[in-house]
Structure 1
Amino acid sequence: MTSSILHRIEIADAHAHQFRVTLTVPQPAAQQRLSLPAWIPGSYLVREFARHLSQLQARQGSREIALQQLDKATWLAACDGRGALTVSYLVYAFDTSVRTAFLDARRGFFNGTSVFLRVAGREAEPQAVEMRGLPKGWRVGTALPALKTDARGQGLYRAADYDELVDHPVELGDFWRGEFKAAGVPHEFIVAGALPDFDGERLLADARRICEAEIAFWHGRKKPHFKRYVFMLNAVDDGYGGLEHRASTALIAARRDLPQRTPAPAKTEARAELSEGYVTLLGLISHEYFHTWNVKRLRPAEFARYDYTQENYTELLWFFEGFTSYYDDLLLLRAGLIDDARYLKLLAKTVTGVLAAPGRQVQSVAQSSFDAWVKYYRGDENTPNATISYYAKGSLVALALDLTLRTRGQGTLDDVMRGLWARSDGGPISQDDIAAVLHEVGGRSMAKELQAWVHGTGDLPLKELLQRAGVSWTQQAPTLVQRLGLRVSESALTGIKVSHVLRGGAAEAAGLAAGDELLGVDDWRLRRLDELLRLLPEDGSATLLVSRDQRLLHLPLVAAAAADSGAVALSPAPAPADNPAATAAQSLRQAWMRG
């Protein structure tokens, strides 16, 4: 393949965290516009990547030409007919997240949206990337198709167009790499920054089980739409996150959460009990891999063609992120990586978190999706009171729809997902498509449920639905912070600092505000929040001593709470042999959990 547009990326100065990028455009327009995306698909916030570009220079042959900046991320090159346009620039790269770019003396990483200029009018043309001159021992890891590369991955890579070019992140460095096949498709797992006792073989085996379960979910025994897949995991001291791409994903996890090699006699026992951190990592892997179908192929109709210059609004993130969040842990269960009790514990955590957010009564998940650009990634002290997560509540909408279909015996949400794939040929969909397939699978319109659960702010009928599915719902006693309706941070340096005051709680009624430091209660000095529980009188009434902006305040507190404000616990309900209803519920639960 001969590409018309070439992007060459080199390490300019690792200690200064700078990449050098050179763009070559054959036969440019007389007034050629160039721009850098303002956001990256999958992370719905305008991030202004162009702020990291500097020293832009343009030439045609040996002649320097004018490069005029038109706005925050667009430039105009005054070209003529005398040869290819070459634009060179530096990119500052020191963001360890999965969204942008990073470079130091040990590791490099970039997303195309952070480094590759877009040539106006030429976005649909083939693009090529050249990577050479890597430090000794460094290799290239990416799902971008190789055109001509050496053993370390240096050389030329190709993309059919600009969208494909920027949908393949690149990992650079001396990383660990492992391979496996799932449903006959080659998969790679790249891990940077792991500790010496990292158990790569365990990670590969568990990732393979996830991939095979998800391929079977979507395609049965058929092969998926991609020919190769790459996981890129950056292990750090403390961090968590992921970003999906069409044939790869970039992940971040804490090193302590990766599996550790164990002595041979302990291996059987180690597999039986997974750490909480490792289960969280497996859930992240499951989530991002599921996105290969649900948001990268199935996607909102508004995302049929990305506009990289501004927000791309949709009300459907409750489906694309929320339903993916529903299936990430459920498919760990179906893959045999966790048991029923662990799955119900994870589900209960989500239920508790949603019910603890006053914002669920203020914002619908459809509105939460639309407002992602200004609210989800910009949390503040009022976020729990004004918003609801389209991830968390969206996953519970999926649960409610699934159990509703199953209790009626008219199909499952699994059937809905596969029906949407068939209906759109793995392409853009609208809410009308979702409603239509729910109707087809369920045998009746579910418009009433969609209106109430997606566009309304009432609580979902989860307790009743779960009990019908043979799951016991137990409301636990509220903790102190639940009784007070606040969230705090504690440290030896800053003391007990209030981070959030929840709407309608005792802390709000007392007049507490975010930023307050709790100093004492009645005549006692308060050093840790758990001391407050011991110091409160039986009726929960006391006077708090609070520091706010150098002033000392005495605030009256009544630490009461509703009986249902505690965490929710879920467990399999017993099914006595002489109780046909309980036996039927148990069968429904097994069918739901096993798929």
Structure 2
Amino acid sequence: MRLACPAVLLALAFPLAPVAAQEPPRSAPQAQPIVSAIPPARDIAWPTGLIRLDIDATDTVRRIIRVTQTFPVGGGPLTLLFPEWIPGKHAPRGEIEKLAGLTFTADGKPVAWQRDPLNVYAFHLSVPEGARTLVASFQFLAPTAGNQGRVVMTESLMNLQFYSMSLYPAGYYTRRIPIQARVTLPEGWTAATALKGDKNGNSITYEETDYDTLVDSPLFAGRYTRTLDLGHDVALNIFADSPEQILATSEQITPHRKLVDEAVALFGSRHFNRYEFLFAISDTLGGIGVEHHRSSENGVGTGYFTKWAEAIGDRDLLAHEFTHSWNGKYRRPELLWTPDFTTPMQDDLLWVYEGQTQLWGYVLAARAGLLSKAEALDSLAQIAARLETVRGRDWRPLADTTLDPIIAARRPKAWQSWQRSEDYYNEGMMIWLEADAILRRESKGAKGLDDFARAFFGMNDGDWGVLTYSRQDVIDTLESLAPYDWAGFLRERIDQPTRDATTAPFRLGGYRLVYSDTPNSATKAIETKGKLVDQSYGAGLIVGHDGVVQAVVWDSPAFKAGMTIGTHIVAVGGIEYSADLLRSALRQTSDGRSPLSLLVKQGKRYRTITLDYSGGLRYPRLEKTGEEESSLDRLLSSRTGEARER
């Protein structure tokens, strides 16, 4: 074998540096312009005439609602919309996924449709020239189980919401679109809605109206119903799974009548020509509380009348939704109002819309006798104590929570006390409770939140249109009642993270929030109805009677011990779990010598944990700080005297 050339050996020993590889250029697309094909809403009339809507709601077994909608048309392009942004939901909650079987015909001939790729709630069609009538046919597939959405139809009850069962033409304010609905119900059923109707057999043809009013006028129907006249052109329409649930004593009916008296006295006006409480008492129909101009959708579990003492948590619902006729429907934040149901809502000022309504719900319930004064105070204590556990108030201002309906859509959260939720309801309520105390202090008792309600919501008696407002309008009205730095007050409470909103209202109102080892009436009702142990105010957890943890407070002793939603408490101190045993063990921790030892299961793993906690059982209540009548006492006092009985 021949020896290699020295030059070759040298080259092998010191290889040349590689030449940098030339990478091929990466593809780089350019954005295509996004152009909406949906005509914007204009304040002009739909030109071709009355739209007719026929709804067959007789298939309660399969829960299929069949819809036929007839549009008078001319030839050419047409865009039809399914409602997306739903008033009262403050979010895009239209259930487009439940629309099925959609077909169109023009004068009997099929018409093709195409869904808009940018807005799946929009359908584009080309109506043949010369056609005069377009017919849409489809089904609304109502949930057959709770995991598909809120149950709106059962074999004995129905909550028909027209926005889920109709289309409307794009390009027009919905108040300028004329429509007439006809609904066919199961045999023997009775219906209630704010619309007037003529019944023929099982079908009801409702009065001609505009599409905005139709959507604002839902329908309840069922086999077992009862209607009570509450006065002031207000009716309570009760629907239930069984006949015994609609029975109420005169002592129970009287405060419902007084509720209407108190509300009309508070606002000094009515923004409706008639008002229908639609009220379902059912364990099968989904619960609800949604406001409308001349009605409200209200749904609670069974026992509202038959287990009156346990229904404390339900007895402010009607007062809350009734208040919305003034606050939310008539007076509405200017950025929240939209001309149709496809324009996005800007969830501004919900701390007024919902927050002040939340307060009037409890105040009016107390004034009417739906809640005793003690029950109302207990409810306020429970709400304030719950807010005290919301550690997210350290980083997220209240104003940001007004966007939570869009951000979270009420989906479950792992750490709600840190993430926050729709706190503009209850923390907003606390802000207005404080505002009442400030008004009384600054005016030397001459003014209070009643005066704000009458001035801001009570004008223009009989007007059931919409009058919008801004934050400055709120500030100006407060200033007119009592000069104060209201802009600074609202900025501090709403725009900045703060914890003062749950302490100042009671301090100024003549009370303080304290804790004891005995549940107040509101907390006891929550624990009884929910079959749970609520110690979120102490050890930092809520546990069901089955031992499964339902909530854990961020940075609480339970949190630090590694507990989460879904943790299963198997044993307490080595003994099989029960709710009473857990309460007893928590109570014993207050001696400082009895740590809480729990055997827990997470997934397939078991472990023993010890909570670093010595606070005992902790339940909230309000304690009076003086002997004289306080501003909170005055706020809860009736304005109409004795209740009406008839």
Place the TM-score, normalised by the shorter chain, in its bin. 0.7 to 0.9
Letter in 2 for 1:313: Q
1:394 match: secondary structure: helix
2:549 match: secondary structure: strand
2:88 match: secondary structure: coil
1:65 is aligned to: 111
* 8 Å CA contact retained: 2:221, 2:239: no
Letter in 2 for 1:413: L
2:340 & 2:106 partners in 1: Cα distance?
Answer: 29
1:302 is aligned to: 335
* 8 Å CA contact retained: 2:333, 2:469: yes
2:171 is aligned to: 121
Distance 1:74 1:187, change over 3 A: same
1:198 & 1:339 partners in 2: Cα distance?
Answer: 22
Instruction: Tell me which moved more, 284-293 or 129-138.
Output: 129-138
Asked if 1:415 is matched to 2:466, the reply is no
* 8 Å CA contact retained: 1:46, 1:310: no
Q: CA RMSD in A?
A: 3.1
* 8 Å CA contact retained: 1:299, 1:428: yes
Aligned counterparts, 1:190-205, within 5 A = 190-196=238-244, 198-200=246-248, 202=250, 204-205=253-254
Of the two, which has the highest radius of gyration? 2
Residue of structure 1 aligned with 2:190, choices 133, 139, 150: 139
Distance 1:499 1:108, change over 3 A: closer
Q: Cα deviations across residues 168-223 of structure 1 (Å, max 9, x unaligned)? A: 1012333423242533x25352423244263346455332211121111111xxx5
2:633 & 2:608 partners in 1: Cα distance?
Answer: 55
2:376 is aligned to: 343
1:463 & 1:96 partners in 2: Cα distance?
Answer: 42
Q: Cα deviations across residues 526-545 of structure 1 (Å, max 9, x unaligned)? A: 42355355486944546654
CA offset at residue 413 of structure 1? Answer: 1.6
2:550 is aligned to: 499
1:154 match: secondary structure: strand
Asked if 1:174 is matched to 2:217, the reply is no
1:264 is aligned to: none
2:635 is aligned to: 592
1:527 is aligned to: 577
Asked if 1:547 is matched to 2:601, the reply is yes
Identity %: 23
2:347 & 2:89 partners in 1: Cα distance?
Answer: 13
1:335 & 1:376 partners in 2: Cα distance?
Answer: 33
* 8 Å CA contact retained: 1:421, 1:427: no
CA offset at residue 351 of structure 1? Answer: 1.4
Distance 1:476 1:362, change over 3 A: farther
Distance 1:95 1:370, change over 3 A: farther
Distance 1:297 1:93, change over 3 A: same
1:476 & 1:43 partners in 2: Cα distance?
Answer: 37
1:55 match: secondary structure: strand
1:416 & 1:229 partners in 2: Cα distance?
Answer: 23
* 8 Å CA contact retained: 2:224, 2:246: no
CA offset at residue 525 of structure 1? Answer: 4.2
Asked if 1:488 is matched to 2:543, the reply is yes
2:126 is aligned to: 78
Instruction: Tell me which moved more, 232-241 or 422-431.
Output: 422-431
* 8 Å CA contact retained: 2:245, 2:303: no
CA offset at residue 89 of structure 1? Answer: 1.0
Distance 1:513 1:336, change over 3 A: closer
* TM-score with structure 1 setting the length: 0.84
Instruction: Tell me which moved more, 364-373 or 137-146.
Output: 137-146
Instruction: Tell me which moved more, 53-62 or 551-560.
Output: 551-560
1:194 & 1:498 partners in 2: Cα distance?
Answer: 33
Distance 1:462 1:408, change over 3 A: farther
Distance 1:443 1:44, change over 3 A: same
1:240 & 1:65 partners in 2: Cα distance?
Answer: 39
CA offset at residue 477 of structure 1? Answer: 5.0
2:92 match: secondary structure: coil
2:597 & 2:609 partners in 1: Cα distance?
Answer: 5
2:516 is aligned to: 476
Instruction: Tell me which moved more, 323-332 or 126-135.
Output: 126-135
Residue of structure 2 aligned with 1:250, choices 263, 273, 297: 297
Residue of structure 2 aligned with 1:207, choices 236, 251, 256: 256
Asked if 1:568 is matched to 2:620, the reply is yes
Distance 1:281 1:570, change over 3 A: same
2:244 match: secondary structure: coil
1:444 & 1:236 partners in 2: Cα distance?
Answer: 47
* 8 Å CA contact retained: 1:540, 1:559: no
Instruction: Tell me which moved more, 398-407 or 168-177.
Output: 168-177
* 8 Å CA contact retained: 1:477, 1:566: yes
1:578 is aligned to: none
Which ranges in structure 1 are unaligned for 5 or more consecutive residues?
A: 261-273, 576-582
Letter in 1 for 2:457: W
* 8 Å CA contact retained: 2:245, 2:302: no
1:100 & 1:557 partners in 2: Cα distance?
Answer: 38
Letter in 2 for 1:257: Y
Letter in 1 for 2:430: L
* 8 Å CA contact retained: 1:178, 1:200: no
1:574 & 1:348 partners in 2: Cα distance?
Answer: 17
Residue of structure 2 aligned with 1:226, choices 243, 267, 272: 272
1:445 & 1:405 partners in 2: Cα distance?
Answer: 11
Asked if 1:559 is matched to 2:559, the reply is no
* 8 Å CA contact retained: 1:402, 1:412: yes
2:562 is aligned to: 511
Aligned counterparts, 1:298-447, within 5 A = 298-309=331-342, 311-375=344-408, 377-388=410-421, 389-409=423-443, 411-421=447-457, 427-447=467-487
* 8 Å CA contact retained: 2:56, 2:65: yes
1:196 & 1:384 partners in 2: Cα distance?
Answer: 39
1:466 is aligned to: 506
1:365 & 1:294 partners in 2: Cα distance?
Answer: 19
1:38 & 1:50 partners in 2: Cα distance?
Answer: 8
Instruction: Tell me which moved more, 118-127 or 34-43.
Output: 118-127
Distance 1:362 1:258, change over 3 A: farther
CA offset at residue 258 of structure 1? Answer: 2.1
2:402 match: secondary structure: helix
Distance 1:94 1:538, change over 3 A: same
Residue of structure 1 aligned with 2:491, choices 447, 451, 469: 451
Distance 1:64 1:12, change over 3 A: farther
1:158 & 1:186 partners in 2: Cα distance?
Answer: 22
* TM-score with structure 2 setting the length: 0.78
* 8 Å CA contact retained: 2:434, 2:509: no
* 8 Å CA contact retained: 1:243, 1:250: yes
Q: Cα deviations across residues 52-105 of structure 1 (Å, max 9, x unaligned)? A: 1111111111211212222432212220222111111111123799x9773344
1:507 & 1:66 partners in 2: Cα distance?
Answer: 59
1:417 match: secondary structure: helix
1:132 & 1:452 partners in 2: Cα distance?
Answer: 50
1:480 & 1:92 partners in 2: Cα distance?
Answer: 40
